[in-house]
Every structure is written in C-alpha cells, then in structure tokens.
A = this chain, B = another copy of it.
Amino acid sequence: MSLPLLLDHLRKTAALGQVAGLISWDQETMMPEKGAAQRAEQTGVMAGLIHQQSTDPKIPEWIAAIDENEISDFNKVNIREAKRDYEQTTKVPESLAKTIAKASAEGQMIWAKAREAGDFQMFAPVLEKLVELKREEAKCLSDNQQDLYDTLLDQFEPGAKTATLLPLLEGLRNPLVALREQIADKLKPKPFEGNFSSSQQLAMAEKLAKQMGYDFKAGRIDISTHPFSSGGGGDSRITTRVDEKNPLNCLYSTAHEVGHALYAQGAPDPFLPAAQYCSMGVHESQSRFWENQIARSRPFAEWLYPQMKAHFPELNIASAQEYYQAVNSVETGFIRTEADEVHYNLHVLLRFELERDLVSGNLEVKDLEGEWNKRFKQYFGLEVTDVKLGVLQDVHWSVGLFGYFPTYSLGNIYSACLDKAMRSDMPERDAKIAKGETTEVLDWLREKIHRKGKLLSAENLIQSATGESPSAQPLIEYLEDKYSDLYNL
C-alpha cells in the first residue's frame, strides 16, 4: 500500500507545483498591475503548501516500507526523486530557507536599482549576504562532505561535479577564442530596417512553432518582458517578446522556448517525477538544439526565408543565403543573452569561474566587479565601462542562483552531441529541413530524450542517445564547420 500512497502524494505535490507555475505565468502575461500584492500573498501561500507537501514525514515512512525488488524501474526513479526532494527540503532548516527567500526577493529589488544606477557597490552588501546564505545552505545539504559549489550545482544538474564539468567547459575556451579572433567583426551583418508589427511577428512565431511540431492544443504563445516556457504535459505554454524594429528577437526566442516546450509536451506523464525533465542542462540542450542547430541552420533558412518575406514584405534581405548570414553574424558584445553561438559559452565560462571563486571564498564580493572586468578583457578583448553591460547584467546571482550558469553551456554541448548523432542516424535531414519538415527530428528527440524522463542521469542519457560520452568536441566541430563555411575561413 505504501507505493500507491507515495505516488499519489507525489502527483499532488506536482499538481500544486503546476498551479504555482500557472499563477506565475499569469503574473508575467495577464495579471493587472494592482493584483501584484495579492499575487505575492497567493504565491507565498502556495510555496508554503508545497514545502509542507515535500516535507511530509510520511514520505520516508512510505519509502522505507516499499520493497524495491518488487517495483518497476520507473517507480524506482520516482522513489529516488521523492527521497532526493525530501532530503533537500528537510536538510535546510525552515528558518534558513525563509531567510534565503527573503534575501532573494530583496536582492532582486536592489539589483534592479543598482543596475539602473550603474553602481555595483550598491548591490555588493546584499550579494555578500546571499553568497553567505547559499554557502550555509550548501553546508546543510552536503553534510560538510562535499564541495560547496558542487552541492549548489547539483540542484540544477543532478550528479554533476566541477571535476567533470571543468574539462568540458574549459575545453571550449581556447578553440572559441581562436574562432572568435579569426572571424569576429569580419562580416558586418546587414541591419534590419523597417517596422515589424507585433501582430505579424506573433503570427510568424506561431507559424514557426507549428512547423517545429509544437502542439497548440497543448500550449499557447503570449508576450512577456522576458521569454520563458512553463507548465508541462497537456498544458506547456511559452512566451516570446517583440521588438518592432527587429523581428529576429521574437523569432529565435520562440524557437528557443518551443524547444523547451516540446520537451515538456513529450513528458510521458504530467505529474510523476520520473517522467519529468532530466536536468537543466538537458532542458537547455532541447531549446538550443531547436534554436541553433535547426532554426539557425542553412537548410532551415531556405524554408524560413520565404515565410519571413511573406509575413514581412518590407524585410530588406534579398535571399535565403543573406538571411542565413544575417541570423548568424558574429559580433563581440557585452551581453550574454544577445551573444552569438561563438561568444555565448565564453560569457558562461566567465560566470562559472567567478561564481566558483565566490562560493569557495577565493574571491570577495567587493572585488567581483574588478575581477569581472579584468577577465572580460582577457576573453573578449573589450573594456567594460558600464556595469550594466558588465557584472550587473544578469539577474541570477541577485536571486541566489549559484551553479545555474554552467547548465547553459552544458545545454550547448549536449545539443551538439545530439546533432552529431542525429545527422548520422538521418542522412537526409538537411534536405527535409530545407522543406520545413521537422517531424523526424522531433520523433528522434521524443524517443531518445523526451520519453526517457529522469530514468538516466544527464551524462548517461546523452551517452545512450548518441553512443558517446558527452564531450565538447562535437560543439567545437559544429561551430568551426559552420563559421568556416559562413566566413570562408
């Protein structure tokens, strides 16, 4: 009887999580502004209930009463995840969890003000507090057995360790810097000109999403300040953003979020933990795969360009080739979220190094801005003169997210691994993609990734999908091939 009770409890926790996700989606897309104070209270109440559900003392009792020899692999994973969630939630004293939640809310507020004012020192005290609190949290979680940064990382990328990530991520640095130096600013992208109406951009985004296999009966697209995906199963929504001067932002944000949402729509069960996404890195691999390996590929540009022309007759781009170049221009810039494929991982590396040093104590918050600027100059060759374009550009640290950044690069690494394997499984892929046919691509991902849920670790999942251990090599090769061709290197 213990297993059904546990599973029922887990489904209930997940349903509450979905409700919390929905009211957060609503807040970003639909909520009238005066609803904010009530929404904050509702959100707090939901968080409290979810915490209560996750720390129910019956959970370990049920688990202890289950004979693991008599259950399916799927349910073994449900139990493993229930145990993991229970331990992660109970090991951190409620008072500390509340202090962190409060400091994160405060941190985000002060970060926004400091960013506005362009003053890092305004932000430093609360960041210092957050680093200290997250170290404390990591100590609770690791029982002092494990590296503190690894403990934080594990919350987003279960089982990942700095020792295995370092060679993957650091291995990117030299080849990327070399590639950057070969090509940067060689090809000036043709600036987009014209006025691209919000409704036309949304129509084009819907067309693109449909083409990628996004099921609108199990989702919807709305506008928000920052694009995101939310929900899961039969209700996997995305948002996009619109810049009326440039339709690419909307288009590739949509491709990215649809990549996430396809993973969510492909979950084998909407509630049970074993059926949910494997890790943040794998989630990001799905969004980056659709955004870069598909939507920014030459064959897809052949399909996409005429569609773009049909939606935006005023588009000042003359051919699919020109369009392909325009959406793959390489420019050294300060902002991670605007970075091209060559620069993106260098931005992540910088943050990965700095946050490890912050958590280990090797770097003090007061020195963070200087250290950022120094290393930025090393990797990008640019002098940071505006802190808004420097250390204050990302929200993550202000809300206590340490150990999150490397999952972005893992996503890029994994997506290139998947791309390589898929190409070898599907020699005709390019020809099909040039006609906008992506069904087999999605089927491949469904079978190899989406339907596997959390059954395997991220590393084993990629290994099982590709036949090789994940490495940075496919990403480096993919980038070198793509940009050699584009820039005639």
What is the interface of chain A, defined by CB distance below 8 A to chain B? 11-12, 15-16, 18-19, 22-23, 26, 30-39, 41-42, 45-46, 49, 215-220, 231, 233-235, 237, 270-271
Cα distance A441–B6 when bound, in Å?
56
Contacting pair A19 B23 (CB below 8 A)? yes
- Beyond A32-B219, A37-B234, A38-B235, 6 additional pairs, beta carbon < 8 A: A22-B23, A23-B23, A32-B217, A32-B234, A35-B231, A36-B234
Contacting pair A234 B38 (CB below 8 A)? yes
Q: How far is the CB of A274 from chain B (nearest CB, A)?
A: 17
Contacting pair A45 B12 (CB below 8 A)? yes
Which residues on B sit within 8 Å (CB–CB) of A35? 218, 231, 233-235
The 8 closest A-B pairs by CB, nearest first: A35-B235, A34-B234, A34-B218, A15-B45, A15-B42, A35-B234, A34-B217, A38-B270
The secondary-structure label for the interface of chain A is: helix
Residue of B nearest to A36 (CB): B234
Which residues on B sit within 8 Å (CB–CB) of A231? 35
Residue of B nearest to A16 (CB): B45
Cα distance A158–B217 when bound, in Å?
42
Given contacts A15-B45, A22-B26, A233-B38, contact A32 B218 (CB under 8 A): yes
Can you list 10 pairs linking A and B with CB atoms under 8 Å apart?
A: A15-B45, A16-B45, A26-B26, A32-B216, A33-B217, A34-B234, A35-B218, A35-B233, A36-B234, A49-B49
Which residues on B sit within 8 Å (CB–CB) of A49? 16, 49
Residue of B nearest to A33 (CB): B217
Contacting pair B271 A41 (CB below 8 A)? yes
